[in-house]
Amino acid sequence: MHTIIRWAELGRLPDFIIRQLIRTLLRARLRQEGTLPFHDRLATLLQFRDALHNEPIACATDTANEQHYEVPADLFQTFMGSHLKYSSGFWQQPDTTLEESEKKMLEITCQRAQLTDGQQILELGCGWGSLSLWMARTYPNATITAVSNSATQKAYIDAQNMPNLTVITADMNTFQPDGQFDRVVSIEMFEHMRNWHQLLQHIDSWLLPNGALFIHIFVHRELAYLFDGKGGINWMSEHFFKEGMMPAEQLLPLCNQHLVTEKIWRVNGTHYARTLRAWLEKIDQNRKAAHTILERGLGKHNAQLQFGRWRIFFMACEELFGFNGGNEWYVGHYRLKKR
């Protein structure tokens, strides 16, 4: 298996073979984890939740930065849209573009979070600022605080010079904001966290009366599992998602003992699959520029390896979210409010 993976990373296997291998692994995981009857699956999920309560809020934050968030912004510009939205877009039509899909998902996020001008808004895990910058421009009288674990991301967002947006670099294990907020929003950060119970307790204390929390996470319809590298080869954990989590759709409500789960939306996985396909197509179009960026820090040979890994990452995630018509793994939107 190691030899096959290295061939794939070096571009010596055609994409259709790589995709077939990925689908085989996905089917194997479902066979391994999905054969229990419902009551046993629920018991397993509750055990998973309880185990998270013994963890810190976040694990391996330095590794997560190295894998994703301290990577130069110009590499992400070789495959993402102009908003640098490093999460699923929303594809309304067959001819929707990557730019349009980013914009539509940002609009949906603001609508479902019930954002309005003049609010105090906190974003946890702001990435390259796609949502924070969108909110700052859309709601000029709002005061927005964005939290990232990455100095590189903070520098990129700060350079946009938005007067109503403040970016803080912080570790979620120790982060405590000044003041309280009308809204807390988080896009694909919870998957990097562990102790959701404690984090939700903190967020509850950060919300003003009548405040609300909006969370966007990717999920599996029933299963929850960790990307911890245990049990053999775990390529995703090693290169892209160290100590990350695939939550089950119902894990968040099961972890929440402080806020009221007001509404849950399901975004079919094909929206994320199309996003990842667009990223793959764009980085292939910008192959030379991506290689140049990677070579600056890695050298020529390692840059070739890393470029191949990014391509496999996009294919693996596209196949995952497109599996079973996007009804197996997909995106969950959750709005929670103060009691």
Print the domain residue range for 181: 2-337
Question: Distance of alpha carbon 8 from its chain centroid, rounded?
Answer: 24
- For residue 327, report the phi and psi dihedrals to the nearest 5 degrees: -105, 5
Phi-psi region of 243 (alpha: psi -120 to 50; beta: other; left: phi over 0): left
In three-state secondary structure terms, 287 is helix
pLDDT at 81 over 70: yes
Q: How many structural domains comprise the chain?
A: 1
Asked if pLDDT for residue 231 goes beyond 50, the answer is: no
Q: What is the predicted pLDDT for the residue at 65?
A: 44
CA distance 141 to 143: 7
| Alpha helix positions (H), the chain | 2-9, 15-33, 38-52, 61-64, 73-76, 98-112, 130-138, 151-158, 196-206, 235-239, 251-255, 269-285, 287-298, 300-322
CATH code of the domain covering residue 137? 3.40.50.150
pTM metric for this prediction:
0.93
pLDDT reading at 60 higher than 70: no
Structure confidence at residue 69 (pLDDT):
44
User: Could you tell me what percent of the chain has a pLDDT over 70?
Assistant: 94
Query: What angle is formed at CA 299 by the lines to CA 288 and CA 12, rounded to 5 degrees?
Result: 60
Note the pLDDT tens digit of each residue in 156-189.
999 999 999 999 999 999 999 999 999 999 999 9
Segment 26-48, tens digit of pLDDT:
998 898 776 677 788 889 999 99
Q: Output the average pLDDT for the chain.
A: 92
What is the chain's alpha carbon radius of gyration, rounded to the nearest angstrom?
20
What pLDDT, on a 0 to 100 scale, did the predictor assign at position 37? 75
The pLDDT value recorded for residue 236 is 87
* pLDDT confidence of residue 40: 84
Q: How many CB atoms lie within 10 A of CB 325?
A: 11
